[in-house]
C-alpha cells in the first residue's frame, strides 16, 4: 500500500547483465513519474498531457523491478522523473530500496531533481542512504529561470540546495547549454558551483519529444563551449566516472570539476552501462532508440519473478550499440517521439 514502507525479501547479488557488445549493465535509471512542476522549454510543451495514474507502476511494483535488477548485478539506481519528488509517498520507495545499500548489494541510490521539493525531502533522503543528488539549474538569473522553466521559482531551488548540503548530500549541478539563452552564463555558473563545492555538468540539448519551437535554435555544441573555456581556463582531463555519460575535467583556476555530456558532438555509447525504466514499466535499452520491453506485464502476471527476469534478460540481449541523434534544420522533428520526462533526465 502506498504511504507505508515497502518490504520485500533481500536479494543476493548476482553476476552483471551483459549486452550483445559485452558491456555490463550495472546502472538502472527509474522514472517514477512523467509529471513535473516545471515546464522547461527544451524538455516539454507548456500544455502537456500526462499519463493516467492507473497506467503507472505502483511503488511496490517499482521496488520489485529494481530488486530484480539488483539481483542480476545492477549496482546503481537513480530515481528520476519528470520530477520524482512530486510523486505521492515517494519516500517509501527510497526507504525500501535503501535495504540494498545496507546489505552491500547496491553501491549507490541517488536522485535527479529540479530542486523544487528538495528543502522538504533532503534530510529524509540522507537518512535513506542517498549520498549524492543531481539538481538541474540552467541559470542563476531569476527572471530567466522562470522563462526557461516556465513555472519554476529559483529561490525555492536555492533553498533546496542549502538543505541538501546541510543534510550532508553531495550536490552536482546539471545545466543544459542553450544557444543565446545561457551560453554567456556558463563561466559564472561554473564559478558559483565550484565556490560551493559542487560539480557542474553541462549537457547538450537532446532531440526527444515535440516542444514549442525548434531544438536547432536551442542547440549549442559543447565542443564550442569547451574551446571558449580553454581560452581562459586550464582544463585537465580526468579519468573520473560517476556511472553516467559525463566526461570530466579539472578546472585549475577554480579547483572544481566540470563535466560534459555530449550525445551529439561526441556520443558516449561505447561505454554505456545503463538502461531506463519508465513509470509504466517500459524498459528502454537506449535513450535514443524507440525499442522498449514491457516489464509491467510480467510483473502483474505472476507473484514470482521468473517471467520478469526472463523479460529483463531478453531486453538486454537486444540493447543496441548506440543512438543516432541528429539536430539540424533538415531533421526538424525529434529523433525520438517521447519526451525526456517519460524516460528520465
Q: Is 82 annotated as a binding residue?
A: yes
Q: Is 172 annotated as a binding residue?
A: yes
Q: Is 7 annotated as a binding residue?
A: no
Q: Is 128 annotated as a binding residue?
A: no
Q: Is 81 annotated as a binding residue?
A: no
Report CA Rg, the chain.
19
Alpha helical stretches, state H, the chain: 59-71, 90-103, 118-127, 142-149, 154-166, 186-195, 222-230, 296-301, 306-316, 340-343
Q: Is 269 annotated as a binding residue?
A: yes
Nearest to 114 by CA among 44, 49, 211: 44
Q: To which residue does cell 539506481 refer?
A: 77
The CA distance from 269 to 23, in Å, is 10
Q: Is 206 annotated as a binding residue?
A: yes
Q: Is 279 annotated as a binding residue?
A: no
Q: Is 87 annotated as a binding residue?
A: no
Q: Is 43 annotated as a binding residue?
A: yes
Q: How far is CA 296 from CA 3, 75, 311, in A?
A: 21, 22, 10
The CA distance from 93 to 75, in Å, is 17
Nearest to 175 by CA among 216, 203, 133: 203
Q: Is 66 annotated as a binding residue?
A: no
Q: Is 344 annotated as a binding residue?
A: no
Q: Is 275 annotated as a binding residue?
A: yes
Q: Is 112 annotated as a binding residue?
A: yes
Q: Is 5 annotated as a binding residue?
A: no
Pairing verdict, β 108-113 and 292-294: unpaired
User: Binding site for [4Fe-4S] cluster, residues?
Assistant: 36, 40, 43, 269, 272, 286
User: Binding site, residues?
Assistant: 29, 36, 40, 42-43, 78, 82, 112, 136, 172, 206, 269, 272, 274-276, 286
User: Binding site for GTP, residues?
Assistant: 29, 78, 112, 172, 274-276
User: Binding site for S-adenosyl-L-methionine, residues?
Assistant: 42, 82, 136, 206
Amino acid at each position: 500500500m502506498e504511504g507505508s514502507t515497502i518490504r520485500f525479501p533481500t536479494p543476493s547479488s548476482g553476476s552483471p547483465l551483459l549486452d550483445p557488445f559485452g558491456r555490463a549493465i550495472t546502472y538502472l535509471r527509474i522514472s517514477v513519474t512523467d509529471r513535473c512542476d516545471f515546464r522547461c522549454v527544451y524538455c516539454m510543451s507548456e500544455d502537456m498531457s500526462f499519463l493516467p495514474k492507473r497506467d503507472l507502476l505502483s511503488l511496490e511494483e517499482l521496488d520489485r523491478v529494481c530488486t530484480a535488477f539488483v539481483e542480476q548485478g545492477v549496482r546503481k539506481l537513480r530515481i528520476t522523473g519528470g520530477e520524482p519528488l512530486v510523486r505521492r509517498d515517494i519516500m517509501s520507495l527510497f526507504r525500501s530500496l535503501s535495504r540494498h545499500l545496507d546489505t552491500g548489494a547496491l553501491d549507490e541510490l541517488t536522485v535527479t531533481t529540479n530542486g523544487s521539493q528538495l528543502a522538504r525531502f533532503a534530510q529524509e533522503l540522507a537518512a535513506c542512504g542517498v549520498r549524492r543528488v543531481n539538481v538541474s539549474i540552467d541559470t542563476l538569473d531569476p527572471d530567466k529561470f522562470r522563462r526557461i522553466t516556465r513555472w519554476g521559482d529559483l529561490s525555492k531551488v536555492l533553498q533546496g540546495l542549502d538543505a541538501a548540503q546541510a543534510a550532508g548530500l553531495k550536490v552536482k549541478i546539471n545545466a543544459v547549454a542553450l544557444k543565446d539563452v545561457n551560453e554567456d552564463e556558463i563561466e559564472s555558473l561554473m564559478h558559483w558551483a565550484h565556490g560551493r563545492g559542487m560539480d557542474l555538468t553541462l549537457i547538450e540539448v537532446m532531440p526527444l519529444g515535440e516542444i514549442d519551437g525548434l531544438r536547432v535554435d536551442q542547440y549549442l555544441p559543447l565542443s564550442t563551449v569547451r574551446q571558449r573555456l580553454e581560452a581562459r581556463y586550464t582544463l585537465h582531463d580526468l579519468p573520473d566516472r560517476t556511472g553516467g555519460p559525463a566526461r570530466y575535467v579539472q578546472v585549475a583556476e577554480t579547483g572544481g570539476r566540470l563535466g560534459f555530456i555530449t550525445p551529439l558532438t561526441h556520443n558516449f555509447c561505447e561505454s554505456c552501462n545503463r538502461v531506463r525504466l519508465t513509470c509504466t514499466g517500459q524498459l528502454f535499452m537506449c535513450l535514443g532508440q524507440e525499442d522498449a520491453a514491457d516489464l509491467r506485464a510480467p510483473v502483474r502476471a505472476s507473484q514470482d519473478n521468473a517471467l520478469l527476469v526472463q523479460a529483463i534478460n531478453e531486453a538486454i540481449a537486444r540493447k543496441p550499440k548506440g543512438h543516432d541523434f541528429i539536430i539540424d534544420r533538415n531533421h526538424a522533428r525529434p529523433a525520438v517521439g517521447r519526451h525526456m520526462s517519460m524516460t528520465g533526465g
